[in-house]
Chains A and B, each alone.
Chain A
Amino acid sequence: MFTEMFVIFQRQMRILLRNPVWVFFGLTQPILYLALFGPLLKNVSGGGLGGDSAWRVFVPGLLLQLAIFGAGFAGFGVIQELREGVIDRQRVTPARRVSLIFGRTLSNMVTIGVQAIVLVLVALPFGLSASWSGIASSVVLICLLALGISAASYAMGLILKDEDGFAPFIQGVSLPLLLLSGVLLPMSLAPAWLRHASQVNPLTYVVDATRALFRGDFGNHDVWIGALVTVALGALLAWWGTRTFQRQSA
């Protein structure tokens, strides 16, 4: 089973790395956020913002955004693979269906992990100062989330089978979830109704946890709640994605 998964993982990574446009934009996108949006935050005050600590609030938000968009759109690839016949051709082998989907999600996870590390490294010269072990555990959490989201995205791709339905769906789901989690600005700045709305959004707890981790505040209950939510959400999405993938491919 691990061999099968690795074979799929290897194939996806090779194809990805051969695409110079992807490699370039995939890595520069987070940097654009840092360079073009980050500086605005210095002059916002309140909610733990203002001055250099702004980066400790902003970078965790960017990490979450990376996971949501990066993994959310993974299903695009599977729609193309469906059309090409790659999915059918792999399904007609004895390889386990779990390996077929997890080889793919693993490649998304690794990609997002690398992008996350690049993001953090680039943020350092901008003025990010954060706890190293906090950063490391945040990246791990983000990777777990990416694993679940990409599995779910693959399943959605197989269900919708068409980019024209898939793109608006992912946009429509991910944007409100992201905004409601306070990725760009912390929810402590929000009016009461918005704050209440954000409390039913699991992603809120993920951002809160990574922000606490960046502060090095390991004892904070945000960390434990966020970690539990991330693991539960990642596992739930991965389970649903795998089950759907199996159903869709009998």
Chain B
Amino acid sequence: MTETDMITARSLSRSFKTKSGPVEAVRGIDLDVRPGEIVGLLGPNGAGKTTTLRMLTTLLMPSSGTATVAGHDLVREPRDVRRRIGYVSQVGAPPSAGTIVGEELVTQARLQGLSKADATTRLSEVAPRLSLGGLERRALLELSGGQRRRFDIALGLMHSPQLVFLDEPTTGLDPQSRANLWDHIRSLRDDSGVTILLTTHYLDEADALADRVLVMDDGKIVADDTPDALKARISGDVITLAFGVAGELARAESVARTAVPVREVVVTDSALLVTVDEGAVAVAPILRALDFAGLSPSSITVNRPTLDDVFLTLTGRSLREGAEGDSAA
């Protein structure tokens, strides 16, 4: 923890009273986010991601624990926190008739304390940045899914916050809109230095966007590392070497074992699976050694473990299973 951290949370917890007894949505999490970081909060349905975000954005009182957000205490100085943060909630119900893109954005900016003139100027800056230029007079009901999500993000950016919380920014979007939104989110940090905490179900999203991934399960943070380090920590990379001639496999195995430090080697009918710490570094020495021994593989692939593998190792459950179990319940 340093003085300049954007978010510092200690033992943050929240429980809900429900008819079927208390629900411990978040169980004492610690969190540090540095300025300019993009941090991904990854977890299955019901892990407590939204609850965490709602606490950090002053929308929900923590049951216990403390947090400093954008330099101010969450509980004692909520208005100072609110002035400095942007919050984009999980997708809600369709918008009401009669709401207009530009008006809603200006209204939001004015509630954030901008004057009418400043809000209008800001609209003309933010709209094009999120490819909403020309849509200012459009009714919210007439926006496409991707446009709607970009509008939601624009709402959170009108007052130029230092810190933005995005709750499942790309859920429900087609692959092209997702990739497009990723670019927008990255440029927020790269061009304006905005710190971003986002939640996601998608492994590839956390992998693509986040500098650091917090894996959340059942109200607790079960891992906190860079996407690459998380992958390396769990299972290493797998180099798959295929050979046309079956007899070459046994010789190739001993060659590979002597060429680089391997974690594990598996021989299948037609291929050799070599698990190493870093595939990118190991591939060249292995190939040179094979070539020296007069062996040439018919194909080579390097597979990095997915965050799904990571999640499985960390929690003993696959992300997808967790999601299905929850929605079936």
Contact = CB atoms under 8 A, between A and B. Distances in A.
Interface of A: 3-4, 7-8, 10-11, 14-16, 18-19, 80-81, 83-86, 88-95, 249-250
B59 interface: yes
B83 interface: yes
A53 to B, nearest CB: 42
A86 B94 CA distance: 11
Given A4-B111, A7-B111, A94 B83 contact: yes
Nearest to A83: B93
B110 A7 contact: yes
Interface of B: 57-61, 79-80, 82-83, 85-87, 89, 92-99, 103-104, 107-108, 110-113, 152, 155, 159
A15 B59 contact: no
Contacts of B58: 91-92, 250
Interface of A is mostly: helix
Given A3-B110, A84-B95, A250-B58, 16 more contacts: A8-B107, A10-B107, A11-B104, A11-B107, A16-B98, A81-B96, A85-B92, A86-B96, A88-B87, A89-B87, A90-B108, A91-B58, A91-B59, A92-B86, A94-B111, A95-B112
Contacts of B108: 89-90, 93
8 contacts: A11-B103, A80-B96, A84-B95, A89-B89, A89-B155, A92-B87, A94-B79, A250-B60
Contacts of A95: 111-112
Contacts of B111: 4, 7-8, 90, 93-95
A85 B57 CA distance: 14
Nearest to A79: B93
Contacts of B95: 84
B118 to A, nearest CB: 13
A11 B103 CA distance: 8
Contacts of A4: 110-111
Nearest to A10: B107
Contacts of A83: 92-93
A10 B110 CA distance: 12
Closest 3 CB pairs of A and B: A83-B93, A18-B98, A85-B92
Contacts of A91: 58-59
Nearest to B97: A19
Contacts of B103: 11, 14
A11 B94 CA distance: 18
